[in-house]
Structure 1
Amino acid sequence: MSKKLQANGLWESSRMMLPQHKERIIEHRSRDNIRTKPSLHEDEIEIMSLNLRMSLSYTIEADIEVFNEFGNRTVKGIVASVSNSGKRIKLETDTGYEFFNFDDLVSVRLNEGGDTFETDT
């Protein structure tokens, strides 16, 4: 007798995957890599604000680490402006200008000569 007719063989031999199933599996696997933003201490937020103001006032290059769900991104540049509410930062990079929300920042490090002032999480 063939294996299809024994036990659960009829169902096991007729498996198929619909495109919707495949999309759902891919979506589920991509969610495994999603991270949450770390909560920052008030002192770290104050140091980041100070470093941003120093970069703006003294045109010091800063390394800004921006949160992303799949991996943080570090951008080098000089702070060109900060919005009145302090929630939006304009950074001048080698390729042009980039805008960031202050809430998305993880750390800000200043590069002044050989010394590096930094905030770590």
Structure 2
Amino acid sequence: MKKLTGNGLWESSRMMLFEHRDAILEKQGEKHKQTHPLLDEQQMQWIIEKISTAYRNKEPIQLQVYGEYGNYAVNGRISRINTLNERLLVGDAWINLVDILEVETAETCD
């Protein structure tokens, strides 16, 4: 009977189901997620103009890209633009236009 008094019931049970462990880890991971910033129309137009100029002139470009757990930079030349899916290919990575936060071209990178 002594085992069941106070917190003894839970202390004696040290087993955790996989579902509970996964739920705890998922909840902890969501604390570090950031929300997607919304850019206004003028900022988006400026980003699109910089991208099209860099693509036309085959200039190297540096992009600041939104990531769920932190923004990251992508450097390289734009090899393809897919207007239907609104994304572009830089190096070997496809990047959605809505995820691009900032653009620097060759003249601003140096």
Normalising by structure 1, report the TM-score: 0.75
Q: Give, as a single letter, the amino acid of the residue that structure 2 aligns with 1:13.
A: E
Match of 1:17 in 2: 15
Task: Report if aligned partners of 1:3, 1:9 keep a CA contact under 8 Å in 2.
Answer: no
The count of residues paired between Structure 1 and Structure 2 equals 108
Tell me the secondary structure at the aligned position of residue 35 of structure 1.
coil
Residues 13-67 of structure 1: CA deviation (Å, up to 9, x unaligned):
3242313322221111111111111000111101100110111111111111221
Distance 1:9 1:80 in 2: 63
Written as runs of structure 1 = structure 2, the 5 A alignment for 1:1-121 is: 4=3, 7-19=5-17, 20-85=19-84, 87-91=86-90, 93=91, 97-112=92-107, 116=108
Q: Letter of the aligned partner of 2:95 in structure 1? A: F
After the TM superposition, which segments of 4 or more aligned residues of structure 1 sit over 6 Å from their partners?
A: none
Unaligned runs of 5+ in 2: none
TM-superposed deviation, 1:3: 6.3
Read off the aligned partner of 1:106 and give its amino acid letter: L
Gapped regions of structure 1 (runs ≥ 5)? none
Q: Which amino acid aligns with 1:60?
A: E
Report sequence identity in percent.
Answer: 22
How far apart, in 1, do the equivalents of 2:100 and 2:13 lie? 47
How far apart are the structure 2 equivalents of 1:67 and 1:45? 14
Cα deviation digits, residues 80-100 of structure 1 (max 9, x gap): 222244712122x3xxx3221
Larger Rg: 1
Distance 1:53 1:27 in 2: 39
SS in 1 for 2:106: strand
TM-score, structure 2 length as denominator? 0.81
- The 3-state SS of whatever aligns with 2:38 is coil
Write the distance in 1 (CA, Å) between the matches of 2:13 and 2:73. Answer: 46
